Amino acid sequence: MGFLDSLFRRKGATAPVEESAVTPECPHTAVTPRWDSAADMGKTDLVSAYVCEACGGSFSREEGAGFVAAATERLRISEEGRQERMGH
């Protein structure tokens, strides 16, 4: 574990230069559906727009559904990875 220890210690000691220089692009994982009519609320096929709560961006139903699917997929993958790590 000596190798990993030194690796993590070095990583924590030096500030990542490229990360502070580049503005991270919002992955839009916090998109929430919006409905024009309150009566349509909850009906995914009648969503008027999606709004990202992280960056405030708004997207069409097609775009928003894509971000929701991507976020769900990302969550599923990380969940699988966690279970795999726990198994070992």
* 52 is a contact residue toward Zn ion (CB under 5 A): yes
* 55 is a contact residue toward Zn ion (CB under 5 A): yes
Taking CB under 5 A as the binding criterion, the range among 9-17, 37-45, 47-55, 74-82 that sits at the site for Zn ion is 47-55
Q: Alpha carbon of 18 to those of 21, 22, 24, 62, 65: distances in Å?
A: 5, 6, 10, 33, 31
Using DSSP's 3-state secondary structure scheme, residue 87 falls into helix
* 71 is a contact residue toward Zn ion (CB under 5 A): no
* 28 is a contact residue toward Zn ion (CB under 5 A): yes
* 68 is a contact residue toward Zn ion (CB under 5 A): no
Bridge-based pairing of strands 58-59 and 49-52 is: antiparallel
For residue 35, the minimal CB distance to Zn ion (Å) is 19
For residue 9, the minimal CB distance to Zn ion (Å) is 34
Q: How many helices (H) and strands (E) does the chain have?
A: 3, 3
